[in-house]
Amino acid sequence: MARSEFLPFSWRNLLIPLLGVQLSAALSISADNSRHDSTSTSRKIEKTVPDYVTLHAPLVWLHSQDPFRPADILEHVRHTTPMVHMEPVRGLPQLDLDNLALLNKYWNNGPVALTANGDITKLPTWLFGETPDESGKLHNATSCVIITVDRGSGDLDAFYFYFYSYDQGANITQVLPPMNSLIEDTEHGMHFGDHVGDWEHNMIRFHNGNPTGIYYSQHSSGSAYKWDDKDLSVENGRPLVYSAWGSHANWVSPGDHVHDSVLLDYCDAGQLWDPVSSAYFYDFNSDTSRLTSIFPPGTEASTNLTSFLYYSGIWGDFQYPDNHPRQKIVPYFGLKRYVSGPTGPTTKQLVRKGLFPDHPETKSLLQWGVGIFMSLYPCCFRGWRAWISGIVFIGVLVCLILGIKRSLKWFRSQNEGYKKISNGEDIPLRDLEYTEDVSLHHHD
């Protein structure tokens, strides 16, 4: 027997309309949700990678002798252990690209560092990455992240990030004279500035789907070119990028390139790599700083991995202290064999006014000093010019010293002024008047 039969007739008449209203509201909400889901799905389908972003994507020429090739991002994470102050972070789940950002809460007066498992001085095989095939494609690695940033008014910036598991710095052979004579090669060809993990990038600016300029990242700075610049090589609408041996800095042409005033990068057309053939694609909202997965036209939405891009720590070992057994130091200049790894793509100033980052990296006093010296070296310090510059310098120094001494002497005389005579005899007023009269008569 139904429970409603125990209710008075009037209550039953009241409940029936109420149930009808609730059912109607539920159907209405369901319809609204259905429309919302349909709209969301439609938006997801529409949020694809603009075709011009892939049509004009850079082609990278890896150096023929560079053993450190593009690396799979997930594989890199799996070969590392998160550490803070050289101590492992405990109690973590298995990390992947979909939960890496959880490490951000473990900052403790220092960043989290994805520290390589094992001894990196032995160069384990996973650091070498994967060599592309003849067509430039990778088959077992995803080593590229492409991020689009809509600037409005038809402008869009596309960032092409390239990932390597190891960056090998310069050695004595890459130091320009005369600075190379000041560096002691105590470790027989030791490279300095090595680090685990390496993010490099190009940025192409588009206006109404047409490329207008490109930026190349290089060490602590970079270079930029307009799309019609004669120095820029474009092949079938795609700009060519030359990745430097070891450092993976991006250059516009093959050959030797000077960076930081005194170091050389070597580039050649050794091995072609097409980064866009195996990449993760994202759109960055500059108002909310949120990333959304997007997909090339004609491909299915297979993954939605964004967590690893929000990870704010270091993608490699933290710089070893000076007393660490792996650490070596170049005498006089204090250059370290191993330095800290880089931070990720979202720290590379995705929002910028021009092609260059709005806030360039600050140079140290040593970098400024070396830069000034190297700029003057060809005209003032090379060969016999050093003797003339030395004589001129000594002459200027002598004149400067004499000028300072004379200035001090004049300054002291001005400060002394007139001194009051305290021990002299009183001179009668009559004598003073007489002297004045004599003086007047004398002038007449």
Q: Which residues contact 174 (CB under 8 A, 6 or more apart)?
A: 263, 264, 265, 266
Look at residue 22 in the predicted model and tell me its pLDDT: 45
Task: Answer whether 0.85 is exceeded by the pTM.
Answer: no
In terms of C-beta density within 10 A (0-12 exposed, 13-18 middle, 19 or more buried), how is residue 226 classed? middle
Domain assignment of residue 131, yes or no: yes
Structure tokens at 349: 């100033």
The answer to whether position 62 is within a domain reads yes
Which pLDDT belongs to residue 374?
76
Per-residue pLDDT reduced to its tens digit, 353-368: 999 999 988 888 877 8
* Helix, strand, coil % in the chain, rounded to nearest 5: 35, 25, 40
Under DSSP, is residue 143 helix (H, G, I), strand (E, B) or coil? coil
Residue 88 located in a structural domain: yes
What is the predicted pLDDT for the residue at 38? 32
Identify whether 99 is part of a domain.
yes
Residue 425 belongs to a domain:
no
Residue 403 lies in a domain: no
Lowest mean pLDDT among 168-172, 183-187, 262-266, 361-365: 183-187
The reply to whether 434 falls in a domain is: no
Residue 333 lies in a domain: yes
Q: What is the mean pLDDT of the chain?
A: 84
Do 132 and 267 contact (CB within 8 A), yes or no?
A: no
| Per-residue burial over 50-81, b = 16 or more CB atoms within 10 Å of its CB, e = otherwise | bebbbebbbbbbbbeebebbbbbbbbbbebbe
Lowest mean pLDDT among 167-181, 249-263, 366-380: 366-380
When pLDDT is cut at 50, 70 and 90, the band that residue 320 belongs to is very high
Write down the pLDDT at residue 9.
38
pLDDT tens sequence across 63-90: 999 999 999 999 999 999 999 999 999 9
Residue 285 neighbours by CB under 8 Å, 6+ apart: 291, 292
The parent domain of residue 74 ranges over 51-381
CA distances from 282 to 113, 199, 406 (A): 24, 16, 69
Residue 389 CA to residue 247 CA, distance in Å, equals 36
Range with the poorest average pLDDT among 132-136, 220-224, 299-303, 357-361: 299-303
Distance CA 28, CA 30 (A): 5
State the Cα–Cα distance between residues 135 and 277, nearest whole angstrom.
10
Least confident of 12-26, 218-232, 288-302: 12-26
Query: CB of 271 within 8 A of CB of 256?
Result: no
Number of structural domains (the chain) is: 1
Most confident of 153-167, 294-308, 425-439: 153-167
